[in-house]
Structures are given as C-alpha cells and as structure tokens.
C-alpha cells in the first residue's frame, strides 16, 4: 500500500507482518537467549553493525524488536529500543549524550521517582540536573550552560496532569543545540506525538497506558532521527570515534539511526537494562487497543473531574481538560484528543481527609501505578513522592492535601458513585 497508515492501523500492524518461519499471525514469544549465525562472516557483519540481525537477547530479540518498531511507528520516530522499565528508559536516553560533569535541565513537574533519580542517582555517573519551572521560558534559558546536554520534561506531568508547552521548549533546545527529551508516558502517542512538536527523543514507561492492563514493567526510547549530533563537540559518543565500540563513529556512519544503534550496541550491552520477550508480548497485545482505551480514559476523566470540581469537600481539581484550568487553551491546541486521565484532587480536610478517602473507596484500586484499565488512587505525598523535600513535593503538585487519580475505563457513573460514597465518609 502507498497510503500512509493511520494510527489505529499502526497500533495493530506495525512491527508484525506475520512470522516468516511458521506463519503465526501474532508476534511469537522468542524465548531464546542467543541466535544462530549463518557462518563466521555473518557473525562478524552483525557485530560490525554492517548487517541488522539478532545476536543475543540482551541486545536485541525479535519479540522486543517488534514492540520497539510498533512504538516507533506510533511516535513517528526513526528508531527505537525497548528496555526493562520507564526508569531504565530515562537512563538509556541520557547515556549516549552525557559525560562526567555534564548536566540536564529538567522540569520541576515530574514523577517523584524521576526527581529522585535526577537529584541523587545520576550524580553517581558524574551527571547532574537543574530543576526549573518550564512555564518560565526565561528560567529554562538561564539554566542552560556550556555543560548542558538536554532538556527533560513530561508531556502530561505526573501527578498533576499539567500539560507541557512542548513547541516552546523545543525552540529553546534548538537554539542551544541540545535535544529535548519528552516523557510521553501519561499522554501516550494517541494524545500527543512530541516529535511532531519538535522533540528530539521520546521516552515511555510502557508499564502504563501502552500495556494498559497492569501486568508487566517496561520502557521505551524513540529517537526522531533529526538531530545533528556532529554539529559541534557536545556529543562525542555519537560524533567522534567511540572507544567502547572499536572506534566506530556512530553518527557519520549510521546517520539518523546513530542514537538507536548506540543505545543497542553499547547502552543495552553494558547497562543490561533488557526487556524480556514475554513482557514485550503483553505490551504488543495491549497496544492493539490503545486508541480505544485512551478515548474512554479521557471521556471518563472529563466527567469525573467536572463532578469533583463541584463537590463541596473538594478544594480544587488540576485536570487540564476542564474549562477552569489555566492550561485549557493549550490542551485544545496541542492535545486536541484530550488532556489524559490523571490529575490531582485537593481536599479541604487536608492530609487526614486524603487518607480517609483512599481507605473508603471500593471500586478504585489503591496502588502505585497509573494508566491501568482500572481506576487507581494514591496519596502521592506519603508514597511516590515521599522521598522528596516539602518544596519539591509542592512544585511537583504532590502536596499533603492532594490525592492522585488515574481514571480507568469502567462505567463513569460507577466511578463517580464510588467517589461519592467515599467523600461522604470524609
């Protein structure tokens, strides 16, 4: 077909043309650690990156590769990899870009685990992060220095559902000649395709909406293939001979696929953040219904948020899809299919009211996850964001009087009824 396939078609067919060996229509689970070489020359060509194929499942695996191809197609990227978790994806995205002493500029509105990872853990690599409010473009520009190697944000921020002005950040990144990395977990490519708005790299926790059923953890990194890694000396792992791979110069040799092949040949090889093929299979099946689920998630979130906003025990709702949100116009422009399905609710009764609400719900699941088909709730300040300072929690939108909701695909009336009976007990 010469016609460009639509999103709903790609989510079913991308990365899967049927198994050539058996004719299996669904992508098989290739539960194998290693793959046969045809001969010595074939093995050498694979290791020299002169030919694409399978060597060892820490690097590539047919089931995992099918998933990476599907996510890359949905995001409109040039290449992608899958790995063991969303946190692994963040490190994998930074790994080809960073050297000891380098930094990133990161949004203050990030998942608490990401704030922790960027505040403390990456320092063990000799990297650092500068956290800024990305609503202030001047603050973002001021934070960039000669050692900055990326800007990092979330398309729809967890937990508050804040929607990022991706084109504005992309313009700043372009001017500084650094990549913009966007975590698109909470939006999914159905609601937002960051590369179309100027992002260089997209990361996912595939655990969430892409899988959609709460069964497996995983991560993905998608590269746009548009960044000129050789324009200056900021990215020597890609633009100069790489000592970790017998002196290969990835970008001059591999062009648009340089970042992806570096992530496979060195990142997965040395960091070992490998996705297992059975997990990839679950996610492939989940993605087949992504657009159907996301449309229902958004529809339900709008109804639930509008109901909560009017409840007398609710102080505020952060859902950006509400006309009262300061980001409502941005949603209409950049996220026309909806503002996602996660948001926070501030209760007038403070911390104790939040705890009572969580303990009184019956339909909602109290778990540290989002993007499940089921409606979920958590008190972020005492769980996912507990390790942060009070100031960091406040900036991230995880104050003590706030609960985070992830609205599922159940009947909206049942979701509201459960919240109604629980709020009556607060």
Digit-coded pLDDT (tens) for 284-339: 999 999 999 999 999 999 999 999 999 999 999 999 999 999 999 999 999 999 99
Q: Residue ranges per domain, the chain? A: 7-28+57-286, 291-423
pLDDT at residue 386, rounded to an integer: 60
Query: For residue 21, what pLDDT band results from cuts at 50, 70 and 90?
Result: confident
Q: Cβ of 260: how many Cβ atoms within 10 Å?
A: 24
pLDDT at residue 382, rounded to an integer: 74
pTM for the whole structure: 0.94
Gap between the Cα atoms of 347 and 172, Å rounded: 37
pLDDT at residue 106 greater than cutoff 70: yes
pLDDT at residue 369, rounded to an integer: 92
How big is the chain by its Cα radius of gyration, in Å? 22
pLDDT at residue 396, rounded to an integer: 65
pLDDT at residue 398 greater than cutoff 90: no
Task: Give 216-254 pLDDT, tens digit per residue.
Answer: 999 999 999 999 999 999 999 999 999 999 999 999 999
Q: Helices 112-119 and 86-94: crossing angle, nearest 10°?
A: 40
Q: Cβ of 295: how many Cβ atoms within 10 Å?
A: 15
Could you write out the DSSP letters of every residue in 181-207?
Answer: EEE-TTTHHHH--GGGGT-SEEEEETT
DSSP-assigned letter for residue 265: I
pLDDT at residue 4, rounded to an integer: 87
Region of 178 (left: φ > 0; alpha: ψ -120 to 50; beta: rest) is: beta
For the domain made up of 7-28+57-286, give the CATH fold: 3.40.640
Q: Cβ of 146: how many Cβ atoms within 10 Å?
A: 7
pLDDT at residue 31 greater than cutoff 80: yes
Backbone torsions φ then ψ of 156, nearest 5 degrees: -120, 115
Gap between the Cα atoms of 27 and 64, Å rounded: 10
Task: Give 149-172 pLDDT, tens digit per residue.
Answer: 999 999 999 988 999 999 999 999
Query: Does CATH place domain 291-423 in 2.60.120.280?
Result: no
């Amino acid at each position: 077909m010469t016609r460009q396939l639509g999103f709903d078609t790609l989510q079913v067919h991308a990365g899967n043309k049927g198994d050539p060996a058996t004719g299996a229509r669904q992508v098989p689970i290739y539960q194998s650690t290693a793959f046969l070489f045809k001969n010595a020359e074939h093995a050498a060509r694979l290791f020299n990156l002169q030919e694409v194929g399978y060597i060892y499942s820490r690097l590539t695996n047919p089931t995992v590769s099918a998933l990476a191809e599907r996510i890359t197609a949905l995001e409109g990227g040039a290449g992608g990899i899958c790995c063991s978790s969303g946190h692994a994806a963040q490190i994998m995205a930074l790994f080809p870009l960073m050297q000891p002493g380098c930094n990133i500029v990161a949004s203050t509105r990030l998942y608490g685990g990401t704030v922790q990872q960027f505040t403390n853990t990456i320092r063990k690599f000799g990297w650092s992060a500068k956290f800024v409010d990305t609503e202030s473009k001047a603050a973002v520009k001021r934070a960039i220095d000669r050692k900055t190697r990326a800007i990092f944000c979330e398309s729809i921020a967890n937990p508050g559902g804040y929607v990022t002005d991706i084109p504005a950040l992309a313009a700043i990144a372009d001017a500084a000649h650094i990549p913009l990395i966007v975590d698109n977990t909470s939006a999914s490519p159905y609601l937002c395709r960051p590369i179309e708005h100027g992002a260089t790299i997209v990361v996912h926790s595939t655990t969430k909406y892409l899988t959609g059923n709460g069964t497996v953890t995983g991560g993905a990194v998608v590269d746009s293939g548009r960044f000129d890694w050789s324009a200056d000396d900021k990215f020597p792992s890609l633009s100069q001979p790489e000592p970790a791979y017998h002196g290969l110069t990835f970008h001059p040799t591999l062009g648009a696929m340089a970042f992806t092949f570096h992530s496979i040949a060195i990142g997965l090889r040395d960091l070992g953040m490998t996705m297992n093929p059975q997990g990839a299979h679950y996610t492939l099946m989940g993605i087949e219904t992504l657009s159907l689920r996301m449309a229902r998630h958004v529809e339900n979130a709008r109804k639930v948020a509008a109901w909560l906003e009017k409840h007398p025990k609710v102080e505020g709702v952060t859902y950006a899809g509400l006309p009262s949100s300061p980001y409502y116009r941005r949603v209409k422009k950049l996220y026309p299919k909806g503002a996602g399905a996660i948001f926070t609710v501030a209760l007038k009764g403070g911390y104790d009211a939040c705890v009572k609400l969580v303990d009184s719900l019956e339909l909602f699941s109290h778990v540290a996850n989002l993007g499940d088909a089921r409606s979920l709730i958590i008190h972020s300040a005492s769980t996912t964001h507990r390790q942060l300072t009070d100031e960091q929690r406040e900036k991230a939108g995880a104050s003590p009087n706030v609960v985070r909701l992830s609205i599922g695909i159940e009947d909206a009336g049942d979701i509201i009824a459960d919240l109604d009976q629980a709020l009556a007990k607060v």
